[in-house]
Structure 1
Amino acid sequence: MEAYEKVKDKLEELNIDFEIVKHPPVLTTEEADSYIEGIDGARTKSLFLTNKKKTVYYLLIMDGQKRLDMKKFGTITGTNHIKFCSANRLMDKIGLFPGAVSIFGLLNNVEKDVQVYFDKEILLEDRMSFHPNDNTKTIFISTDDMLKFIESIGFKYEAIEL
């Protein structure tokens, strides 16, 4: 099943409304923004991170315009030496490649061993945008429905102040 189809099917199963925008492949939030200009919804940045020993995994969702202070995130999570996961580890853990990371990658994490964090600020938004596991599309979904999605697939999340 195509990566996007898996996301679409799950959202439809949960009766979650969403808007989809198709565009050429993009690797950064800046590139994606040029195709979704004028559409209501916060632009998110989804970061897949790990500790130095690659034994703990984090999916962090924050505003696309914000920069991550890795040291502060490490302090919040109680982990030293936070770093980005390699492309191979990213594929192994959530079935995605760099440039397509999103909350929907959790559908592919059968071990349920990814810790999910949101910057508190982004949770104040009514609607957010993500890649639906495919960087040729951007999906817009209400924040409440996105949280419903996360919980429905067996994940918990924590809101933190970055």
Structure 2
Amino acid sequence: MAKGTYQQVKDALKKLGIDDYNVVDHPAAHTTEEADKYIAGHEGVRTKTMFLKGKKKKFYMVIMDDKKRMDFHEFMDLTGTKRVSMARPEHLEEELGLEPGIVSPFGLLNNQDHNVKVYIDKDIVDEPIQTFHPNENTHTIFIKTKDLFKFLKAIDFEPEIIDL
């Protein structure tokens, strides 16, 4: 499978008429903490996107504030999922065409099987702007929350809002 690329994200957003976003180019960032240093002073909630695997090869994407800790038991209770853990790098590559540390909703462009359920924490839904790596960790995109939802819907993913 072709790797996700920044160009792929720009092309997809352009095709959808989403052009009101900003990008900060920076050295490769391997953690949210590293990325946050490069984007200090720019408006937008700092997010983390986790790619999880449940039993029977079910996959989940969880988008939340990067300051929040993921509670796997609470997630399983809220969603009725079973035996959820971080997906292995090979699953990330297979399903999203991404490497660990670069997970974002833009990786869903590569999810041919549409077998990933997307969850967004309600704490960030009302934030006007969200931040993500656009399939490469040398850029951070600042996208309006409404445009993120428009993007997800356009590529056939209906995120569920949960209270983590």
> Cα offset for 1:80?
2.3
Q: Which runs of at least 4 in structure 1 moved beyond 4 Å after TM superposition?
A: none
Q: Percent identity?
A: 48
Q: How many residues align?
A: 161
Q: What is the CA deviation profile of residues 108-130 of structure 1, one whole-angstrom value per residue up to 9, with x for unaligned ones?
A: 00111100000001101000000
**Superposition pairs of residues 1-162 of structure 1, within 5 angstroms:** 3-16=5-18, 17-51=20-54, 53-162=55-164
Q: Secondary structure at the match of 2:156?
A: coil
Q: What is the CA deviation profile of residues 30-82 of structure 1, one whole-angstrom value per residue up to 9, with x for unaligned ones?
A: 0000000000000000000011x352100000001000100000111212221
Q: Distance in 2 between matches of 1:55 and 1:72?
A: 20
Q: Secondary structure at the match of 2:78?
A: helix
| Amino acid of the structure 1 residue aligned with 2:158 | K
| Amino acid of the structure 1 residue aligned with 2:26 | H
- Which residues of structure 1 form unaligned runs of 5+? none
How well do the aligned residues superpose, as a CA RMSD in angstroms?
Answer: 1.1
- Which residues of structure 2 form unaligned runs of 5+? none
TM-score, normalised with respect to structure 1 = 0.96
Q: Secondary structure at the match of 2:57?
A: coil
Q: Distance in 2 between matches of 1:103 and 1:117?
A: 10
| Amino acid of the structure 2 residue aligned with 1:45 | K
Q: Secondary structure at the match of 1:121?
A: helix
